[in-house]
Amino acid sequence: MKKNTPRWVWDYDLDEEQFQKLLAGEITIGRLDQRWAAVRLLDYAPYSEIVRCMGFPMLVAKWSVWRRYVRSERRRRGLDFLVAWLPHAHPELV
């Protein structure tokens, strides 16, 4: 496993740079693409890492596409709230 592998991709030989490129949609590695990276992040990373890696603009813009792939009902509910609340409460962040 590569030295700087993000914790949420423990089962893949990816480093942080590759993961960020997948998340940005700049590269695809086999079946690993932007959706895979986003859903993996949303499923397994802590909130602070989601915000650091993805940022609020990307999350708000693409949540409706990724939502159905997130496994945790609790995460979906939390992110539903955030994505609905954020543009009204803090539009400067999106």
Per-residue pLDDT for 91 more than 60? yes
pLDDT tens digits, 33-78: 999 999 999 999 999 999 999 999 999 999 999 999 999 999 999 9
Q: In which band, very low, low, confident or very high, does the pLDDT at 90 lie, cut at 50, 70 and 90? A: very high
What is the C-alpha separation between 74 and 32, in angstroms, rounded?
25
Q: What is the reported pLDDT for 1?
A: 54
What is the C-alpha separation between 27 and 34, in angstroms, rounded?
8
pTM of this prediction exceeds 0.85 = yes
pLDDT tens digits, 9-35: 888 989 999 999 999 999 999 999 999
The full set of domain ranges for the chain reads 7-93
3-state helix, strand, coil in the chain (%, to 5): 70, 0, 30
What is the C-alpha separation between 88 and 64, in angstroms, rounded?
17
